[in-house]
């Protein structure tokens, strides 16, 4: 994947995030705003994952660290949410 494609995908994701903020500002458009936010995040996450795999030479070794961070952060966040409930 070329850097031009990566830049374009990040630009599309950022436009989706801006549209999400615009949509979430009113209750009647909140569903559409939430959808824009989900699409933007999916584009950003998939682009980042593809970039990590490409930069590591086709191996997914870098993704192990990302997934480890997700598990640790998610577990800590779930623990804290239960503690505050």
CA–CA distance, 60 with 83 (Å, rounded to integer): 35
Domain locations in the chain as residue ranges: 3-84
CA–CA distance, 52 with 46 (Å, rounded to integer): 10
Report the pLDDT value the prediction gives residue 60, as an integer from 0 to 100.
77
Report the pLDDT value the prediction gives residue 81, as an integer from 0 to 100.
94
The candidate with the shortest Cα–Cα distance to 1, out of 62, 60, 58, is 58
Segment 3-7 long-range contacts (CB within 8 Å, at least 24 positions apart): 6/47, 6/51
Report the pLDDT value the prediction gives residue 15, as an integer from 0 to 100.
97
Q: What is the pLDDT along the chain (85 residues), one digit of tens a residue?
A: 789 999 999 999 999 999 999 999 999 999 999 999 999 999 999 999 898 888 888 777 788 888 899 999 999 999 999 998 7
Report the pLDDT value the prediction gives residue 65, as an integer from 0 to 100.
86
Report the pLDDT value the prediction gives residue 57, as an integer from 0 to 100.
81
């Amino acid at each position: 994947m070329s850097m031009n494609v990566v830049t374009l995908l990040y630009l599309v994701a950022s436009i989706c995030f801006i549209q999400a903020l615009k949509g979430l500002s009113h209750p009647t458009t909140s569903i559409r705003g939430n959808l824009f936010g989900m699409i933007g995040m999916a584009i950003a996450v998939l682009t980042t994952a593809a970039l990590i795999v490409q930069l590591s030479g086709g191996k997914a070794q870098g993704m192990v660290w990302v997934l480890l961070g997700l598990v640790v952060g998610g577990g800590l966040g779930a623990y804290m949410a239960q503690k505050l409930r």
